[in-house]
Amino acid sequence: MTAPDRLTILTYHSLDDTGSVVSIPPSLFVQQMQSLTEIGFQGISLGQALDNRRSTGRWPEHRVAITFDDGFANFHKHALPVLTRYGFSATVFIVTGHVGQDNDWAPPPDELGRQPMLSWPQIKELSDAGIEIGAHTRTHPDLCKVSAKELDTEIAGSVADIEQHIDQPVKTFAYPYGYVSPAATSVAAKLFHGAVTTRLGRAGNDDPTQLPRVDTYYFKHLPAFRAVVEGRSDAYLALRRWGRVAGRLVRAVTTRNSA
């Protein structure tokens, strides 16, 4: 029996010890990468995974795509040396209007506070080291709430910003907050090989412009992390995804009834 054709795409944001909902401690990140090698998996970029799928029709086996949203400067300090040590790659999605500044596009989680973002020289260094640089808009807006013109400026503009600074084409995109609209996915379909959401699950035969991911924040326990990567938790992920949808429906109905 062949294994199901699925790929785990991991989501990270910031590597720090603040305990915020977008943070993973640097020491845990080291353990997670070590644990991947122990179970025979290699970390790759989303672009590499998509290239494999485009050329063979399947996701690569014994690989996990590692993605970092937003472009926090702590990627350079805490992720790059570890990924290099294990010979892994990853994708970092950059908010180009905040490069070299901080994460003040929206109030950050209280515990996290304001954090510095990667600079262009650091982004170039990452790219030269084999890390994929993906786009994550210019100002991190909710793409469901912007005009068609702003949609283009935000998405195509962020690609142009990145390509001015690195020697590689931008092939991948992450929707800010994971919010997806038909207009945004049609722009993404024209510009990218693939785009990721925050929908929970492993990627299978999904529309490449709306790929699901697994947020590592929910899998801090190493055995649970390994089980997800090895595909032993697909039923659990589906149940949790349904739980999230059901939770939203209940809130919507409750809000309507109390209005």
Q: Where along the sequence are the contacts to Zn ion (CB under 5 A)?
A: 69-70, 176
- Please, what is the minimum distance in Å from the beta carbon of residue 258 to Zn ion? 31
Closer Cβ to Zn ion, 41 or 105, answer by number = 105
Q: Among all residues, whose Cβ is closest to Zn ion?
A: 69
Strand ranges inside the chain, DSSP E = 8-12, 14-15, 23-24, 42-44, 63-70, 91-94, 132-135, 172-174, 194-200, 211-215
- 3-class DSSP assignment, residue 239: helix
- Please, what is the minimum distance in Å from the beta carbon of residue 195 to Zn ion? 13
- Please, what is the minimum distance in Å from the beta carbon of residue 176 to Zn ion? 5
Closer Cβ to Zn ion, 67 or 233, answer by number = 67
- Please, what is the minimum distance in Å from the beta carbon of residue 54 to Zn ion? 26
Q: Which amino acid is at 256?
A: R
- 3-class DSSP assignment, residue 25: coil
Closer Cβ to Zn ion, 50 or 95, answer by number = 95
Note whether 209 and 192 are within 8 A (CB).
Answer: yes
Angle of the 26-38 helix axis to the 222-229 helix axis, nearest 10: 50
Q: Which amino acid is at 37?
A: T
Closer Cβ to Zn ion, 134 or 176, answer by number = 176
The first and second tokens of residue 87, run together, are 């010979």
Closer Cβ to Zn ion, 60 or 108, answer by number = 108
Note whether 212 and 206 are within 8 A (CB).
Answer: yes
- Please, what is the minimum distance in Å from the beta carbon of residue 226 to Zn ion? 26
